[in-house]
Structure 1
Amino acid sequence: MIEPGVTLNERYRLLKTLGEGGMANVYLAHDLILDRDVAVKVLRLDLQNDPDTVRRFKREAMATIQLVHPNIVSIYDVGESHGQQYLVMEYVQGTDLKKYIVEHFPIPYQQVITIMEQILSAMALAHEHHIIHRDLKPQNILVDQDGTVKITDFGIAVALSDTAMTQTNSMLGSVHYLSPEQARGSMPTRQSDIYALGIILFELLTGSVPFEGESAVSIALKHFQEQMPFVRDFDPRIPQALENVVLKATAKDPNERYTSVEAMAADLKTSLSKSRAKEVRFVPTAGENLDETKVLPQLSTPPKLAQQPEADKPAKKPSKKPKKWPWIVAAVIAVIALIGVGAALASGGSKTAVPDLRGMTQAQAKTTLTSQRLSLGSVTHAYSDTISEDRIIRSHPAANSKVKTDATIDVVISKGPKLYQIADYTGRSYSDVAAMLEKRGFTVKKELASSNSQPIGQIMSQDIDSDKQVIAKQTTITFTVSSGPKRFALRDLSGYNEKSVRDYANELELNLNVENEYSDDIAEGTLIRQNPEAGAMLSKGDTLTVVMSKGKDPATQVKQLSKTISVPYQAVSSESSSASSTSDSAGDSDSATESSSSSVKPVPNQIQVYIADSQHSLDKVYRTLSITEDTDVTMNFTVVGSESAHYRIVRDGVEIMSGEVKQ
């Protein structure tokens, strides 16, 4: 076994062991490129040098990779790492159907049907591709956390074209689900898969398999010697129509089973319908009589004779009766044969079914047709991606068609996959070439490389030489495609001055566009922003635009201005002063005059100051004061940008001065 932690081909890191099989071990792994969990099946180390096992292992991938279905585990990749063959598959989180039955039994009938419909749908696709599974069993059916079932392990699955090469006396698959014809050593067919599906349905309904024994041989014998147990004996509530699906799928004679998994699915779909409530039990008409040679068990000697000593046995007396019966049987057979021939001649020839010739060689087909009193007609050839060379693709009339005895059957024989000649695709558009090749069945991959001479998307090279002939569906072609000129990540130029920016642009051969604007936050002469932003991928000749700071915008700057002016005092008039003195005198005129002159005080002027700046207007008083002499008044202004300020002075209600204060 491989220890977890190993990485296959620098991509699939093995995390833990999921299971161990006779041919391969399965690991949970992580795809480092696509960042997802996958299941990796690695051929066992002791089998790596066995060509038959390696071929069989690869055949699993070839058999499954063409089956894209939601109920079939997908094959993602096939590879080899240090001589170890491996398959990369979809990782299904859940359990297998065998464990599911144990944990959930009894399972509601409708759920049983839902599970079987998914399995049948998957097998319909496999049979459509001429692939039989041969090892269908609950252990090879996975159930994810959403209840979706997925068939896996096509390790012994084989295209019908290969069945003639299978050793007929090899018994593959699990014996509990083995069809009678497989147990007898015959080649498996679609009906063999249907038999296994019937056993799986039996187990879903009863929780057990129909036949048990002390050895695989004893179980295999029961498959073609004993009657299939009735599921209604386990659970009488099971509708007869549902039991009939089991009985018909597991009929001993393959010809009495369903003709296809689609037919089984259609019958299963209506098995719970009330319209079929009074359905009678299905009884096969052919019983256990199969076409293949039947191995009869050796008859045991009656007990009394077995216990009698050899010496005491009486001597045998001559008897004519035992000698006559073989002749009687032969005579009866001869009469029946003559009657059959006469009836055939009278009716103008009997009808027979065309055997399924698909996958046979021409010689095998001729022999098979002759045994059915048919003959081989015209032989034509055609390419096939699924049927091996020199094996039959189809017949006309088709298999199971009814034709008259001695009719001729035409066949189409495979020339194998069509070979395509690889052209020289360099200089052409990758998207056009990839679409064309994928349509033909190629797997196309792309690797990018920079180029100063070839435009983006143009093919620079290919890993398969031109003029080589290949099979499309088995070929992966990788193109090296131009990604244009070499690209680099743009540096973050924050804090650069204009000279530093120009030096950087010149070094990388970028076209530089410099713009300037005011900034309250970025120092003058320093970069404010760049386009494209830092980290963007650029190539030589691309344009870089930078915006440099001009410093703070003067138009938005707040400034403080100051203006000091002298406000003149205006004395009150003499008349007003004399009148006041006269009215206040109370003594002689001389003394009153002297007293008045020495006690007269100046009358204050009432001054209002108005200013206009960003915070004040001339219609509101900025400052009020009383003066009795010339007085200096200082005014402080707040202005924005290049604005100017204004002021006006009012004395005793009369404006005496105004002006503008400039920066």
Structure 2
Amino acid sequence: MTTAVKDPLVGRLIDGRYLVHDRIASGGMATVYLATDTRLERPVALKVMHTHLAADASFVARFTREARSAARLSHPGVVSVYDQGASDSTVYLAMEYIPGRTLRDLVAASAPLTLGDSLDLIEEVLDGLAAAHAAGLVHRDVKPENVLVGDDGRLRVADFGLARAATTATGGATSTLIGTVGYLAPELVLDGASDERADVYAAGVVLYELLTGRAPFAGGAPAQVAFRHVSQDVPLVSDVRPGLPPGVDELVAGATHREPDHRFRDAGVMLEQVRDLRDSLPDTVLDAPPALVPQSPAVAAAVGGTRVQSRDHVVALPVGELRDAASGTPTRAETRAHTRAETRAELREQERGATRALPRPSPAGSGPLGLPADDDERSAATGGRRSRRKLLLVLVAALAAVLLAGGGAAVWAYTAGPLSKLAVPGVVPGTLDSAEQTLRARELVPTVDYQYDDDVAAGRVISTDPAAGARVDKGSTVTLHVSRGAQLRAVPSLTGLDQDAASKALQDAGLAVGTVDQDWSETVPEGLVIRQQWGPNPPLKAGTEVGFTTSKGREPITAPTDLTGKSLADATKEITDAGLKVGKTDRQNDDTVPKDSVISAAADPSGGDLHRGDAVDLVVSDGPSQVQLQDMTGKSLDEAKGLLSAQDLQLNVIQFFGTRVVKQDPAPGTLLAPGSTVTLYTAP
């Protein structure tokens, strides 16, 4: 009966803080445990590095730096890093605990997925990667195992920078590469160099698996798989899954191009492409069930079946061997294995030939054990054995010579020959700090040249000299052209200048003349600048266009017409609505225009165009002219008639047997319009 060996860390309190409960998973670099942070009383995923890495001081230092960088990243699509430390030779990382499973489990159980589900999943992966890339972090080991699918259904990317830390600890980019061969970008295989585009390549491979349930390159030794990434394009998705829109092939090809410069620049750019593709497709296409081209039995057997199985993909490979594979020559391990196999086959063949050359023993004269009985036969047998021994010695000597020659050639190749040169790693558009670290890890000497760049953010690498991929000697200087950001120019004040002077002021400031408009102005003379597109703050990028507006002078205004007969209130409103004002107002009697209505209007100044604020003079009617009724009381009827007639008034007489006026209506002093009637009462 076999007794299970208990994990020695289960039940231990790590660093006086983390109580380990159970082992969750184990990978190529670490084992993950479910633990409790006793200080904050919360569950954590405790990643404990393997002993051989924890014993390497350079790894611990690098791991600490990478962990601190990852801890600064806060995004819902990235597993949060809480803490890192070392205690009693145990190097650990405390991370957010995500109950659930990995994307690898989902792929193994359900892939191929519908196009819509595949795009949704890769969008969540890219969302987390985009946040990391924006913060200057490169993952280097993107794969389904490093994407956690929480019980809430949300995807989170884990393990930022750990592959980089492990690779550096094991000898740097020039000796050993730690990564997942199924997802390694070609530049990682050839040079160990990486930037955001290496993560984009791996994300493209993950999308291929989601859509097809198969790895694009599978089967064979790790070096062979890595070599296929370098020497072959990732197959078209439509070759495996016909009927998909052409944009799917374009998306995967844009992410997995063998030349980094032809890939999406970072995860953010790929994320935009994924969203654009999904938004352009109808639900019937996104939700259509997948239909794959069946694999032949031989291919299926070679790659381990049609589905991508859950497995530990992380391996450590000498970059030199990967370069040999990429150049089409066998790796040193493969050469040694092949030589041993050939030697054994040749020895067996020679032994068979030597045995067949011996005389067969005579049945009648055979001695004990079937040996020849006479001296001649014994001599023949002895000679055969000696021949075989001589042949073996010759073969061993020849094999030794071959191995020595091969070893010498290898030493020469790596010390003085073509393999002594290093490929300049691609560090564009990484940060200056990461670029310098990458170059120093490759035994190259970085120098910095700062320059302005309108498109590259400040602090990021624009280009290198020599360019990425160029092969140089160890210790060579590589110039990093680093962006200062856009060159900013102060915007001059243009107000009050004419158009020519304003254009010259912009050009002298390193800016460009934008659109020139015109507008009316009550205060700025014609031809001078009224306003400009940008003020003096903030400063603008050199060459930015700045538009401005010049004055056409005062805006001409036409005075309202047909004011005659309108009430004074209505006429005043029309005049002010037109931007003018009511000037002098005269009043006069008018027999035809009602009282308080306009008789006439005149502009001031008279003649020419009017402008805002000019006056319009009005003549307003006081109604018809009037006379004051005299006192007729006591006058004779004839005298009263004469007075009323002189004032153009009409007489109405009411007599009571007399001719003297005793009463009048209206009363004396009343103002009457000409033609009005006055009633007089007479008595004796």
Give me the TM-score of the superposition, normalised by structure 1: 0.43
TM-score when normalising by structure 2? 0.42
The structure with higher relative contact order (CA 8 Å, sep 6+) is 2
